[in-house]
Copies of this chain bind each other. A is one copy, B any other.
Amino acid sequence: MKTLLLTAALAAGFAFSSHAQTSAAMSDAEAFQKGTFQGATADLAHYNAVYQLDSDDPKLIQQTLRNLSNALEDTRLKGKITIELVAFANGTAVFRKDQPYEAQLTALKQKGVILAQCLNTIRERKISKDELLPIISYVPSGNGELIIRQAQGWALVHP
């Protein structure tokens, strides 16, 4: 009997979870029509996001770092989000010693942000690790990292 209840609860849990998501989307849409929508509700215990940086445009780099900080400070996510910044292709500029981002990146690392550089890019472009900040880590490929992270349930942000 206990088993039956547990099983039924379990089954109901999944049905509820799926139904709840559709309902949540619909009630957000209704709230928006009424003018009372104030953003999606963050009811999970923890969130993860991977930020993609593949441009060396200083404006876009600054916007990416600012966006990332805004996500860390969003009242809905503060204290319960892990973020990884993945740089590849031209985006490698953000980690170069001769670029002006070291202070911002160090501050982000102190807040727990993972700083990851694509190894494929530095191999293809013959960039030495000595040209990049020592505070970063390396991943086999930036694209592989984006794909595996999403399969793990991480959100993607590409400013």
Contacts and interface: CB of A to CB of B under 8 A. Distances in A.
Interface in A40-79: 40-42, 44-49, 52, 54, 63, 67-68, 70-71, 73-77
Interface string A17-35: 0000110111011001101
A29 B74 contact: no
Interface string A117-145: 00010000000000000000111111111
Nearest to A32: B114
A116 interface: yes
Interface centre among A4, A25, A71 (most CB of B within 10 A): A25
A25 B38 contact: no
B49 A25 contact: no
B151 A28 contact: no
Given A7-B7, A32-B109, A32-B114, 11 more contacts: A25-B154, A37-B114, A40-B149, A40-B152, A63-B89, A67-B88, A67-B89, A70-B143, A149-B155, A151-B153, A158-B158
